Amino acid sequence: MAAAVEHEVSHPALQHHFDNLEQQREAGTLGMWVFLVTEIMFFGGMFLAYTLYRSKFPDAFASASNHLSLPLGAVNTVVLIVSSLTMALAVYSAQVGKRRNLILFLVLTIVLGSAFLGIKAVEYKDKYVDHLVPGKLLPGNAFSPVVAAHGDTDPHKLHMIGSATVKQVEMFYWIYFAMTGMHAIHMIIGVGLLLVLLYFSWRGRYGPEYHNPVEILGLYWHFVDIIWIFLFPLLYLLGRHLMHA
């Protein structure tokens, strides 16, 4: 009978190895944070590579960065921050038990996340057209950008600053595609998980007592947002001021 008393407020979502929903919630949140620590180390390695090569080839990194589209990068930053807000509002809606709002905000987050990926695809295509995909990753489209002559303002050509070389610019694009590519894969996984949450929210599984899945996916989504908060200035803005110098 003692067990029955402990599980007095038993909930269908409560797993048998937890005493109560509160303990289950804390364990789930802690688990997600431990995962995010490994993610910080994973992206940290790439930020380290970026810092190292940028300090080695400052002119090349500035030249290559200037070829990225600042408007598209800035719009994507805004899209992602709004999606973080809608995700936070989805968590809030689950906590206060507003199922319709929860569904609405999950849908908005999915739409914004997909918009981000769409804009990213447009950017990748621009780099493909200008032969800026590093190495020979794409058969028949090896890294071979055209370097602009002095005075040539063609935006499809590389405009070199100082002592930059094409080989060094290629290094920037390795790092650019590795970092934004890993970030985009995280976004795709995030959108996939949001669709699962949407399905269960539709079925009415989440409410004020139980909504830990919504909360921990929120943690993941905000983490991916933070990565972009660093990627945007580091990749798109460095060396902009050297354009007119």
Partner 1 sequence: MSEHIVSLKVYFTIFLSLMVGTALTVWAGLQDFPGPLNVIVALTIAVIKATLVVLYFMHVRYSSRLIWVVFAAALFWLGILFALTFGDYWTRGWL
| DSSP code, position 134 | -
Residue 66 near partner 1 by CB under 8 A: no
Task: Tell me which residues in 68-127 interact with partner 1 (CB under 8 A).
Answer: 70, 74, 77-78, 81-82, 84-85, 87-89, 92, 95-96
State the Cα–Cα distance between residues 213 and 139, nearest whole angstrom: 42
CA dihedral 55, 69, 187, 118 (to 10 degrees): -160
Query: How far, CA to CA in Å, does 53 sit from each of 1, 59, 209?
Result: 65, 11, 49
Query: In this structure, are residues 151 and 215 in contact, taking their beta carbons and an 8 Å threshold?
Result: no
The only residue of 15, 19, 48, 141 in contact with partner 1, by rule CB under 8 A: 48
- For residue 162, state whether it binds partner 1 (rule: CB under 8 A): no
Considering only residues 200 through 229, tell me which ones interact with partner 1, judged by CB under 8 A.
Answer: 215, 218-219, 222-223, 225-226, 229
Residue 145 DSSP class: P
Q: Give the nearer residue to partner 1 in terms of CB position, either 133 or 190.
A: 190
Place of tokens 């940028």: 54
The 3-state DSSP class for residue 158 equals: strand
Task: Return the residue of 22, 152, 155, 196 that touches partner 1, per CB under 8 A.
Answer: 22
Chain residues that interact with partner 1, rule: CB under 8 A: 22, 25-26, 29-30, 33-34, 36-37, 40-41, 44-45, 48, 51-52, 55, 70, 74, 77-78, 81-82, 84-85, 87-89, 92, 95-96, 215, 218-219, 222-223, 225-226, 229-230, 232-234, 236-238, 240-242, 244-245
